[in-house]
Structures are given as structure tokens and as C-alpha cells.
Structure 1
Amino acid sequence: MPVLGGQARRHHRGPQQAEEVEPDGGDALMNLSPDDWLTLLTRRHTQLLPDLQALDRYYEGLQPLSYMHPQLVTEIGDQLRQVVINWPRLVVDSLEERLDVEGFRFAVPDSTAAEDEADEATADELWRIWQANNLDEGSQQAHVDALVMRRSFMIVGSNPGDPSTPLITVESPLQVEVDYEPATRAVRAAMKRWYEVDPVTGAIRDEKATIYLPDRTVHYAKTVPNGWSVQSEDVHELGVVPVVPLVNRGRLLNPGGVSELADVIPLSDAACKVATDMMIAAEYHAMPRRYALGFDQEDFVDADGKPVSAWTQLAGRIWATAKNKRDDGVEVGQFPEAALDNFHSTLNQLARTVAALAGLPPHFMGLSTDNPPSADAIRSSEIRLVKRAERRQRAWGGSYEQVMRLVLRFRDGAWDPRARSLETRWRDPAVPTFAQKADATVKLVAAGILPVEMSWDVLGFTAVQQERMKAMQASALDRAMEGDLAALLGPKPPQPPASEPVPGG
């Protein structure tokens, strides 16, 4: 078996913990055939799937109940319904909601106005291709999967129907796995596999896979009992793998990333257990509890005369004791109800811990005080969350820039050296009010610090909106040159009719 390189060996310790890795060599993988890469990456992906699926279940709120003895779960049976406090989704969505791509630009201006205009036109074209591939929505899904399952992927390919608009697809780590070059940490091979489902019966028909290499893309189909067979092959000689990972919190020896839920899952499990216990306590202790003295075990039977379980007896909200020799009489009474404050304080403490680990403001977790915080205090409490969003913007911005370089390569048939200076434009994660941003921008423009057109970027206008604003300014200037000064100065004041005297005249 070849040595695992780049994507080093992993020791799985559960979905709530990061993958442990050991660096190892990659020389044995340099000359693998596409068939060998398929065998290696499918085996590795199969090993990773249980952890990824467990992380996905936590985000969806479908995780099993933890911290409860299995015998008690068996005894309770269908009488117990788990209470899920879905803090994992809150942690992920609070961060993802501040990650919105708004366009692309060239960071380094060219030497001439014509070259600058060409760069601006290219940036507008990239945004058109972005929207043509529905990446306004797709990028949000990629961010969620990356935050939950450590990484997501984007695959770039040619578009036979429209060569000017290459295809960009967003992929889940449940279907895609990559291998990294140890020296450069660049992707040197990638695999996507999926199942085709019969549209009528819903049964799985065929398993398909695609291997992406720097010089070719190979498509496979799996049939039983023959195994994998090549269906088609595209020799493109790109020089790079057209698969770009979006990695969450990647590290030097763990390029596959860490789930944003790694620190939250144990606390979420504890909260779900405490909340479930609270509901059980509310059912059997928060209301006055009755008891009956002078009954034997055989007195508790169902409608058919069969003995009922201990849990069913509890569900009847009656505690009973057996008869004794001195007194065969029956006594019925009632205990006072119990308070649930201990559960509330435990849940509040767990919520504070989650807020601290995830960088969430206290009010996101439902924690409040008698004195409402001021607007400045609320903004101050969001500083860590804003900084976490900015870190993701920097890391994923580089991935999106690589995607756009591949787009230009597929569109033009050659690499564009200017694309090395591409930058991704993100919406401000601090989410200030528009009035605050406008006031600060006007002051910068009036002081001559910020050009007017750059202020449009600061205010968050999209590339399409900026083009319309430029066209409107050009149209106003043309009208002014023709003598219509109102095009620049605004509408003229209404003039009184000639027959009426002018006031003050």
C-alpha cells in the first residue's frame, strides 16, 4: 500500500475533536496512476465519512442523546423524548451570516488607464460568471459545510454550451476528498464520488467517481462484480488540479481543517441531557406528587391483567409501598412539588461557556441582565465574532481567487499573469448601520482622503450598481455640456408666471 503523503495519517477520536495527524513522506505518491489515486482516495474518504456524517448530524440537530446510561434508555423506551438545544447550528450560522462575497478586484493598479480599465472589465466579467453559476447562494452553502465539516470544495470546468462562462460547482466533503503536496501544500489529486438514484423507486443504481489530476480528469463507474471501470478521460494539461478547498482553520500539519463545532459539541451534549432531565423532572416532580401506601407489586397491572414495568408505574405519577403485617390499611397522600432552578442555572452556565469558546455575544445565547446594554456595549461584545469572520474572509478569499484564476484559464485557454493580484471583495462583517458608514465616508471624501468612486466600495455597492452610477454620472455630464446645468446642480426652482409680480420687486 502506498504511503499517505500530504494529507497525513489521521487518528480519529470522535466528531467533536480535531483530526490528529502525523507528517509523512509523499514520494511514493508522485507517480500514481489515476486508478491508484481512485483506490487511495476512496479508501481514505470511506474512513473519514463516519466523523463527517456525525458532525453533519450535530448541525441538523439529529445527534443521539449523550450522558445517559444505556440501561435507563432501554427501560424508559419511547416514554423519553430528547430535548435538543441546537447550539452547534447557532455557532455556525452566527459566523456564516457575516460572510458575504460581493465581487472581485485587482489589488495592484496597472501603469496605464487603459490597463486599469481592462482590469476593471475583467473583474466585472468574473462577477458575471460568479452569478451565472448561482454562487451567491452556493457560496453560503459552501461556508456552512466548511464550518461544520472542516472543509468544502469548489470544482471548475469547461462549459461546452457557453465557453465564455466556465462551470463552477460547490461540493460537499461527504462526496469529495483531496490529497496535498507535502512541500507546497497544494492539491495534487482530488476525488469526487456519488451515487445515482433511480427516480422511480429511489433505489441506488450506480456509483460514480471522478479523479482530478494536474494533467487530466478521469471519470469512473462502478459495476458489480467488475468494480471500477473508466468511462471517459479528458487530458487538459492545466498543470494544477481544478479542485479548490475552502478549509476552516487549517493548520500546517492538518491542512484538512478543524470543525467549528469541535469545542461546542461536548457542551451541547451536556445541555441536551440537562434539558431532557429538566423535562422529566417537570413531568414527575414539578407538580404535586401522589403516593399510596398499602399496595403490593401485583396490584399494578394493565387492562389485560398483566404486570406493568417500573417506568409505567412512575408514569402513573403514584409512588406505592407494599402492605405490612401490622397494618393492612391503605393510605393516600401527596408530596409538595419541586423547583427546577438547578436546571436553569446549569443551562445558563453551559451557555456562558459556549459563548466564550465560540466568541458569541451573550445576547446571542439568550443571556441578559436587568440593565439593558447600550449600543456601544453591544458592538463591543461582537468584536471577537467580527474578528473570526475576518479571519475566514482572508483564508477563503485566497481560495476564491484561485477559483477565478482557473475560470480565466478555462475561458481564455492560457493563464493570465494579472490574475495573481486578484482580491475578493467581502461585505463588512461588523455590520454597521448604513447611516454610520455613509457619515464616515462623506467625511473622508470631503477631506480628500478617499476618492468618490472608492467610496462606493466602502458603502458596499455591487459592481452592477457601480456601473449604473457611472452611467448616470456620464449622462448627467453630457446634458450639462449641452447647457442643462440642472443635470449637475439639480432641478431648477419653480419660476412664477410672467403675469404675476415678482416678490420684493
Structure 2
Amino acid sequence: MATLAIGDAPSLVDQQWINRLVRWHNNELPELRKLLDYYEGAQKLSYMHPELVDTLDERVRQVVINWPRLVVDALEERIDLQGFRLGGQPANDIELDHVAQYNDLDAGYQQAHVTAMVMKRAYAIVGSNPRAADAKYPLVTIESPLEVHVELDPATRRVVAAIKRWHDKLPDDQVRYYLTLYLPDYTVTFVVSPERGGYVEVSRDDHGLGEVLVVPIVNRPQLWAPLGTSELADVIPLSDAACKVATDMMISAEFHAMPRRWALGFDEDDFTDKDGKKVSVWQTIAGKIWSTSKTKKDDGAEVGQFAEADLTNFHNTLRALATQVSTVSGMALHNLGYSSDNPASADGIRAAEARHVKRAERRIKGFETAWERIMRLVLLVRDGSVPDSARWMETVWADAATPTFAQKSDAVVKLYQADKLVPRRMARRTLNFTQAQILDMEREDREDVTRAMYDPASEYGVKPTPEPQPATSARAPVPAGAGPR
């Protein structure tokens, strides 16, 4: 078994923070896991009687209409983080972009937003880079609320303490449990030691920065819920109802969509297979062929069938539930799979999506506060202080309405040509060109200007032969109208 160098037990203050945060985190975990189950489509079937569930065998399983995932993903797809700007400091902007690229935040921010929308919040943890060659790139990791929990100052709503709990498995399959405690002046990691009967210290970082290096990325914070609310809160009851209706529809299809048979004058022992064994209830109901030795004339037996049932009532109920989901989520009904035979016009589609776009813009306002704090912590960890200019940092987001490239290009060209209301670099950023692409464009612009001012071919190329000029007389020209008198 691998050994691990261990140190002291937690101090009294550290142990108090650990007990407090672990207790609160444990109280919240069941709700967070339930929200995640709904997003993953792994929730239990609601509104169905337990006896009916016990009666049905594996032939009928729950039908999951995963509207919770659709509601979250459709909203997240409108939220694209493009970078950070300090204003008038392009070199610092490039450095922040490099930090984001180093930490793969172009993918990490999407995971953070999805997690926050589902489970109320995600977290980002900032720390120094253990690799000396990459010290100018502090580490930024996106964390799950299933592992991280924080406590906020009631007055300032800033993080005053945080924990992260996780575990790993050793080669001998033994599980080792860790806990990291984040406080304003230090970060300390503990491991559970069965030998000592509690936590023991394994690493410590006395950074002395005066900041907890954990930032919650909160979805829809409220005065009564500063750590956020889930986008699924209003959708879960409707999703439960839709899953119940869809499951009922499949059960009805099994029992009633095909012609239902009836029989008079029989008992259960009369239904047997070709080997004389008694058939099951499902074989009796759904079997294609029934055979019996009884006859109507001799035994008073009679067999017949009812007409098959129409399942339209289930379709109408599902559409009514989809309409309610569209109402509470701001999504257009066509995004839920319901559309008319006559396609809507482009203006009609934009009008139907206007509320959803506005909702995405509201979420952006909430998320950008967290991302700005994260990048300020990056500067604090890297440089030991945060410059005043970074306090007014801005995040750059793509247009939540996702206009076409042609529409955006037309608008940018008009602004650029209208007395240069938008400078060239801003115009290119508006068209979603990356920082690297913009730098390549500017380099090519400088090369074009250099060619226009100085053509090397004039110095080193073949000299053009001058064209011959017509011969002229040495006599001075005579003014027009002048002649011998």
C-alpha cells in the first residue's frame, strides 16, 4: 500500500470550520443530486401507483421526456464567453486570454454554466502553478457543488471560507478521502487517517493574500437565496407529468392500441402453450394466438375482441404540458418539437425567441460578476496585488440573439463607415474573430501599408525603359494669336 507523509491534526479553528461546512454541505447534497438526476434523465417515475409499478414487468419501462436537459442546454447555448478587457491595455488583455487558454476555460466556462443552471451554482478555484516554467499562468479549475461548498459573509456576500471534498482510489483498491480548507490567508489539505481517527494535514499554502481563492458561479442569485436557484425548479413538475403521460401511453399501446380480446366461459387453466404449460398474464393478453378445446356449442364458451383504442388524448395532453414548459422557460414552442404546418417567418421566429434571448442576457449579467472576480484572483495570485484598472474589468460575450454573420457584418460596416464610430479592432471583435486572428489581420495590414509606401521592386527589380519624347525647337513658343504685324 502506498504511504503518505502526514503532519499535524487540524487546529481548533480549522476543525470548527470543517465541521460547520461539512454539515451544511451534507444537508444540501440530496437536493443537488436530485437536480442532477433530472438533468441526466435518471429520475424516478412520479404519479404512478406503486402496485401498478410492481405489476408491470420489464416489458414496460419508464418513458423519460427530458425537458429539463433541453431547457438548460437551449439557454446555455446562447451564452458564449469570449474574453476579458481592461480597457486601453491590449497587452494585459492578451495575457488574460492566455491564462484562459492555458486552463482550457473555453470549454470550462460551458461546464460551469451548465452546472450552475442545473445545481444552482458551480465553483472556480484559483491557485499558483506548481510548474516553475509556467508560473505566469495561475491554475483555474471548475468545480462541482457536489464537492465544494462555501460560506458567505452576510454583510458583503463575499466568500469567507470554503471546502472541497474528494477521494481517490489506490492501486490496491483502497479509497483515500481528502478535504481542502480555504481561508483568507492560507489553504490547507487534510486526509482522513484511520490510524489517527480523523483528519491530518498533508499540504499547506500560507499565501497571505487576504482572499479565499474560491469563487461561486451562481445562477439566478436572489436576496433569499444568495447561492442561487436552479433553472429546473419550474420545469420538474411538468417533466414528471409528461413522463407519466408518455409511460401511460406506452402501456395503453400495449393493452389497447391493438385489438383487445375477450373470452367467456374460460378460466386461467384453459390457457396453455403447445407443451401444456400455463402461460403468463402477458402472454395471455398480448399473445397472437389463443387455443382451447372448449366450444361455444358444448361448453358455452365464446371469444371476441374490442376495437383498438385511439391514443390522441395522450398526444393532446403532452402538447398542453409542452406549452406550459414553453411559458415558464421562455423557450419558443417549436424548440420543444411542436410547430404548425405553415412555417413561421423569420420575423415571427425572432419575436417568439425574444423572451428567451432576454433571459440569456440576464444570466450573462449574473455570470460576468463571477468571471471578473476569478480573473482578478488570477492577477492577485500571479502578481501579489490587483491593479486598480482590473477593478473595472469587463467580460466580452457573444450576442445572445445569434444573428447571422451577414446581418452582423452589415451592421458593423455601417458603424465603421459612419465617421468611424467603431474602430477597426472593435469591428473585428464584434464579428467574433479571435485575438490571434485579429493580430494576424493587423500584421497583414501593416505589411500592406509598407508595400504601398515602399516597393522593393523599384530598388532591385528591372528598371523600366523611358518612352522617347518628341523633338522640340529651341525657339521660344509664340503666344496664341500673336503673329507678324
Q: TM-score of the superposition, structure 1-length normalised?
A: 0.83
SS of the residue aligned with 1:292? strand
Question: Which letter maps to 2:377?
Answer: L
The two structures, once aligned, show a CA RMSD in angstroms of 2.5
Q: CA deviation at 1:223?
A: 2.5
How does 1:378-457 map onto structure 2 within 5 Å? 378-448=349-419, 449-457=421-429
Question: Deviations for 1:462-482, whole angstroms, at most 9, x for unmatched residues?
Answer: 222211111111121122221
Is the counterpart of residue 178 in structure 1 residue 150 in structure 2? yes
Provide structure 2 residue ranges, at least 5 long, that are not aligned to the other structure: 1-10, 458-466, 468-485
Query: Given that residues 102 and 426 in structure 1 are in contact (C-alpha distance below 8 angstroms), is that contact kept between their aligned partners in structure 2?
Result: yes
Is the counterpart of residue 103 in structure 1 residue 74 in structure 2? no
Q: CA deviation at 1:410?
A: 1.2
Is the counterpart of residue 91 in structure 1 residue 52 in structure 2? no
Is the counterpart of residue 223 in structure 1 residue 193 in structure 2? yes
Q: TM-score of the superposition, structure 2-length normalised?
A: 0.86
Q: CA deviation at 1:402?
A: 0.7
Query: Given that residues 271 and 290 in structure 2 are in contact (C-alpha distance below 8 angstroms), is that contact kept between their aligned partners in structure 1?
Result: no
Is the counterpart of residue 131 in structure 1 residue 105 in structure 2? no
Larger radius of gyration, structure 1 or 2? 2
Which range moved further: 448-457 or 164-173?
448-457
Partner of 1:151: 121
Q: CA deviation at 1:305?
A: 7.2
Of 275, 291, 297, the match for 2:268: 297
Tell me, in whole angstroms, the C-alpha distance in 1 between the residues paired with 2:23 and 2:274.
55
Question: Deviations for 1:51-72, whole angstroms, at most 9, x for unmatched residues?
Answer: 1111111111111111100111
Partner of 1:16: none
Partner of 2:48: 68
SS of the residue aligned with 1:380? helix
Query: Given that residues 76 and 311 in structure 1 are in contact (C-alpha distance below 8 angstroms), is that contact kept between their aligned partners in structure 2?
Result: no
SS of the residue aligned with 2:176? strand
Tell me, in whole angstroms, the C-alpha distance in 1 between the residues paired with 2:48 and 2:255.
18
Is the counterpart of residue 45 in structure 1 residue 25 in structure 2? yes
Q: CA deviation at 1:253?
A: 2.4
Partner of 1:461: 433
Partner of 1:22: none
**Alignment CA distance shift 1:299-1:39 (3 Å):** same
Partner of 1:13: none
Query: Given that residues 291 and 319 in structure 1 are in contact (C-alpha distance below 8 angstroms), is that contact kept between their aligned partners in structure 2?
Result: no
Identity of aligned residues (%): 54
Tell me, in whole angstroms, the C-alpha distance in 2 between the residues paired with 1:383 and 1:52.
30
SS of the residue aligned with 1:382? helix
Question: Which letter maps to 1:478?
Answer: T
Q: CA deviation at 1:415?
A: 2.1
Partner of 2:162: 190
SS of the residue aligned with 2:64? coil
Q: CA deviation at 1:77?
A: 3.2
Question: Deviations for 1:423-482, whole angstroms, at most 9, x for unmatched residues?
Answer: 110111110000000111111111122222221222122222211111111121122221
Partner of 2:461: none
Tell me, in whole angstroms, the C-alpha distance in 1 between the residues paired with 2:32 and 2:189.
24
How does 1:204-215 map onto structure 2 within 5 Å? 205-215=175-185
Of 242, 246, 260, the match for 1:271: 242
Tell me, in whole angstroms, the C-alpha distance in 1 between the residues paired with 2:347 and 2:174.
56
Question: Which letter maps to 2:50?
Answer: P
Query: Given that residues 59 and 148 in structure 1 are in contact (C-alpha distance below 8 angstroms), is that contact kept between their aligned partners in structure 2?
Result: yes
Tell me, in whole angstroms, the C-alpha distance in 2 between the residues paired with 1:300 and 1:66.
35
Question: Which letter maps to 1:221?
Answer: V
Tell me, in whole angstroms, the C-alpha distance in 2 between the residues paired with 1:476 and 1:348.
60
SS of the residue aligned with 1:102? strand
SS of the residue aligned with 1:63? coil
Of 334, 343, 348, the match for 2:305: 334
Query: Given that residues 248 and 259 in structure 1 are in contact (C-alpha distance below 8 angstroms), is that contact kept between their aligned partners in structure 2?
Result: yes
Query: Given that residues 257 and 309 in structure 2 are in contact (C-alpha distance below 8 angstroms), is that contact kept between their aligned partners in structure 1?
Result: yes
Provide structure 1 residue ranges, at least 5 long, that are not aligned to the other structure: 1-30, 110-115, 486-497, 499-505
SS of the residue aligned with 1:77? coil
Question: Which letter maps to 1:481?
Answer: M
**Alignment CA distance shift 1:84-1:310 (3 Å):** same
Of 327, 339, 348, the match for 1:377: 348
Question: Which letter maps to 1:76?
Answer: L
SS of the residue aligned with 1:346? helix
Question: Deviations for 1:133-160, whole angstroms, at most 9, x for unmatched residues?
Answer: 0111111111111011110000000002
Question: Which letter maps to 1:287?
Answer: M
**Number of aligned pairs?**
443
Question: Which letter maps to 2:158?
Answer: A
Question: Which letter maps to 2:414?
Answer: K
Question: Which letter maps to 1:296?
Answer: D
